[in-house]
């Protein structure tokens, strides 16, 4: 539980006409909550979803903050009638902890402040690995698992991944734009959706550099400049091959 000290609050302007209360020592969206949402909620609550609010965006999360608290905390405690989030028997349900739920609850209860991102600026490959480890643990491990082994028939492995090691640029594009449809990794085919995440060039460089230098991968380095260059290119999503028309069409 957050200490009752330092409860002096002020109203601060935010984007999209959203206002939030900032409480000293309280969890904030960018520093604490967004990394959790990216790792535990973003597979459904993302910018590509047509039906669910995007919890990775501050304005949307702030507007939906009361419902977020109800679904993540109250439902889990049996105090609200709807389904608890994360829902079902997905990997996120297995990895979200009580401490994670308390942090989200406390973020809402203390005013749902925006805050500042915690990812530091890396000046070397070694520092990118260090910063990337935190991103991997909070965002990637829920599906791809802590040791990068993935989940059979659901989420492809990142450990000793032939897909990952074959083309660094394609791996960067996956983090920039997401991916859906069939993908073959280490001889097995997977068909699932990976949404695009609101990550900076440096975040993507850090996460990929950590992954390339872990789990038996090739040791590549990914720099923010490489990510920036691919972000600027015109991206055309892959489309399924056209099939021959039926005689009845």
Helices 201-212 and 224-232 pack at an angle, to 10 degrees, of: 120
Residue 23 has pLDDT above 80, yes or no: no
Query: Confidence class of residue 160 from pLDDT cuts 50, 70 and 90?
Result: very high
- CA 137, CA 224: separation in Å to the nearest integer? 20
In a domain, 61, yes or no: yes
User: Cβ(106)–Cβ(122) under 8 Å?
Assistant: no
In a domain, 25, yes or no: yes
In a domain, 94, yes or no: yes
Which of the pair, 214 or 134, is modelled with greater confidence? 214
Residue 246 has pLDDT above 50, yes or no: no
Query: Confidence class of residue 249 from pLDDT cuts 50, 70 and 90?
Result: very low
In a domain, 59, yes or no: yes
Same domain, 137 and 216: yes
Same domain, 72 and 151: no
pTM for the model = 0.68
Question: Could you read off the pLDDT of 5-22 as tens digits, one per residue?
Answer: 332 333 233 333 343 444
Same domain, 197 and 105: no
Same domain, 105 and 129: no
Q: φ, ψ for residue 183 (rounded to 5)?
A: -145, 135
Same domain, 140 and 71: no
First vs last C-alpha separation in the chain:
64
Same domain, 74 and 23: yes
Same domain, 153 and 209: yes
Q: What residues make up the domain containing 146? A: 125-232
Residue 55 has pLDDT above 80, yes or no: yes
Q: Mean pLDDT throughout 212-237?
A: 93
Task: State which of 53, 78, 109 marks the end of a domain.
Answer: 109
Residues 6 or more apart whose CB falls under 8 angstroms from that of 209 comprise 125, 128, 129, 132, 220, 221, 222
In a domain, 9, yes or no: no
Q: State what percent of residues in the chain have pLDDT above 90.
A: 55
Same domain, 95 and 140: no
In a domain, 247, yes or no: no
Number of domains in the chain: 2
Residues 6 or more apart whose CB falls under 8 angstroms from that of 52 comprise 44, 45
Question: Could you read off the pLDDT of 192-218 as tens digits, one per residue?
Answer: 888 888 889 999 999 999 999 999 999
- CA 92, CA 86: separation in Å to the nearest integer? 6
* Res 183: pLDDT: 94
Same domain, 74 and 166: no
**Assigned token pair, 232:** 């600027």
Same domain, 132 and 78: no
In a domain, 6, yes or no: no
* Range scoring the smallest mean pLDDT among 7-16, 112-121, 238-247: 7-16
* Res 124: pLDDT: 94
Same domain, 31 and 96: yes
183: helix, strand or coil: strand
């Amino acid at each position: 539980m957050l200490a009752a000290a330092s409860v002096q609050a002020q109203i601060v302007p935010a984007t999209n006409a959203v206002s939030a209360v900032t409480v000293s020592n309280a969890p904030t969206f960018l520093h604490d909550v967004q990394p959790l949402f990216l790792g535990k909620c973003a597979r459904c609550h993302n910018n590509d979803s047509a039906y669910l609010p995007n919890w990775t965006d501050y304005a949307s999360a702030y507007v939906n903050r009361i419902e977020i608290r109800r679904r993540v905390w109250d439902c889990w405690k049996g105090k609200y009638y709807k389904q608890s989030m994360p829902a079902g028997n997905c990997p996120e349900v297995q990895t979200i902890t009580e401490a994670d739920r308390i942090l989200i609850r406390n973020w809402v209860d203390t005013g749902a402040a925006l805050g500042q991102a915690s990812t530091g600026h890396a000046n070397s490959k070694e520092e990118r690995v260090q910063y990337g480890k935190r991103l991997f643990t909070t965002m990637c491990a829920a599906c791809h698992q802590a040791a990068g082994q993935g989940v059979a028939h659901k989420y492809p492995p990142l450990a000793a991944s032939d897909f990952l090691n074959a083309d660094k640029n394609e791996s960067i594009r996956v983090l920039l734009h997401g991916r859906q449809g069939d993908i073959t990794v280490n001889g097995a085919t997977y068909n699932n959706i990976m949404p695009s995440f609101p990550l900076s060039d440096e975040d993507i460089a850090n996460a990929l550099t950590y992954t390339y230098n872990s789990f038996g991968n090739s040791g590549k380095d990914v720099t923010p400049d490489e990510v920036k260059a691919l972000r600027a290119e015109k991206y055309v999503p892959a489309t399924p091959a056209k099939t021959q028309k039926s005689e009845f069409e």
